[in-house]
């Protein structure tokens, strides 16, 4: 019996990507043959970094992972999943609050497009981290060195010159 090739799609805004996201990526790549990190373009969200900047930051971070690629997309995630021939959608879970929302989303995606969702729990040290929280802390000058990769920290410091200056 031959092993079936499995491509996973990890969609999100990643504005910015956090150590929690990277934790999910590094553990999930052990489960799949290929992982496509899909940076969503949302006309509704007020985004800090452009899709191109987010793709660039993430590509720097996953350059050492040969079975991972990074792309941006617009529109419905399930339609993009079909375009890249993804077998599953990967989602990271941080807390019980995430479970309720993600469960509903997974059920909808399966009903609408017949695609399954695989969940990977983030490590406990990142369970509270979100891109929204990162943007807020950065805007108020907080130190994010334990929560985001160095290249992201540098970009946040460019946007918010007081980032990391508060003790």
Active site residue 155: no
> Whole-angstrom distance between the N-terminal and C-terminal Cα of the chain?
58
Q: Which residues pair with 126 in a beta bridge?
A: none
Of the residues 13, 54, 91, 94, which is catalytic?
94
Judged by DSSP in three states, 43 sits in coil
Of the residues 91, 131, 135, 155, which is catalytic?
131
Of the residues 21, 54, 91, 135, which is catalytic?
21
Active site residue 130: no
Active site residue 30: no
CB 84: neighbour CB atoms within 10 A? Answer: 14
Closest among 4, 1, 63 to 37, alpha carbons compared: 63
Q: How far apart are CA 74 and CA 148, in angstroms?
A: 25
Active site residue 45: yes
Task: Give the active site residues.
Answer: 21, 45, 94, 131
């Amino acid at each position: 019996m031959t092993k079936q090739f499995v491509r996973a799609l990890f969609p999100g805004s990643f504005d910015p990507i956090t150590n929690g996201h990277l934790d999910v990526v590094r553990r999930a790549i052990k489960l799949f043959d290929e992982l496509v990190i899909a940076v969503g373009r949302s006309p509704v969200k007020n985004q800090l970094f452009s899709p191109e900047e987010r793709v660039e930051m993430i590509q720097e971070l996953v350059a050492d992972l040969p079975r991972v690629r990074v792309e941006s997309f617009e529109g419905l995630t399930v339609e993009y999943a079909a375009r890249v021939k993804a077998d599953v959608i990967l989602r990271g879970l941080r807390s019980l609050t995430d479970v309720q929302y993600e469960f509903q989303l997974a059920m909808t995606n399966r009903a609408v497009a017949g695609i399954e969702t695989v969940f990977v729990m983030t490590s406990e040290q990142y369970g509270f981290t979100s891109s929204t929280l990162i943007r807020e802390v950065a805007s108020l000058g907080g130190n994010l060195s334990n929560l985001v990769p160095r290249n992201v920290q540098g970009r946040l410091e460019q946007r918010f010159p007081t980032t990391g200056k508060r003790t």
